[in-house]
Amino acid sequence: MLKAISPAQCRGARALLDITQPELARRARLGLSTVVDFERGRRSVSSEVVGKMQQALEISGVEFIDENGGGAGVRLRKPGKEMRGRS
């Protein structure tokens, strides 16, 4: 299981999907200030909240890449590929 995503991964995933912070907040069912504060590193948010953002982004078509010596990242999932690690 991938550890919690970073603010940079969240911003990168939104960029790949071309969605705004308000759209991510809506998809994750969170307040806009929570998304903004997380991405800007203004405050810590719970792992549950980060998980909601991560799940919303994964459902929308991105994969998060674990730190594997080359740095953590994010990429678009190939069409038809199942999500890994999420139920």
Q: Is residue 83 in some structural domain?
A: no
78 pLDDT more than 50: yes
77 pLDDT more than 50: yes
CATH number at 48 reads: 1.10.260.40
Q: pLDDT tens for residues 42-56?
A: 988 999 999 999 999
Q: pLDDT tens for residues 14-35?
A: 999 999 999 999 999 999 999 9
Residues recorded for the chain: 87
Domain count within the chain: 1
Q: Is residue 1 in some structural domain?
A: no
Q: Is residue 37 in some structural domain?
A: yes
Which residue has 């995933």 as its token pair?
Answer: 13
Q: Is residue 14 in some structural domain?
A: yes
Q: Is residue 11 in some structural domain?
A: yes
Domain that holds residue 37: 7-76
Q: Which run of H or of E encompasses 81?
A: none
Mean pLDDT confidence for 65-77: 84
Both tokens assigned to 30: 């969170």
- Per-residue pLDDT at 23: 98
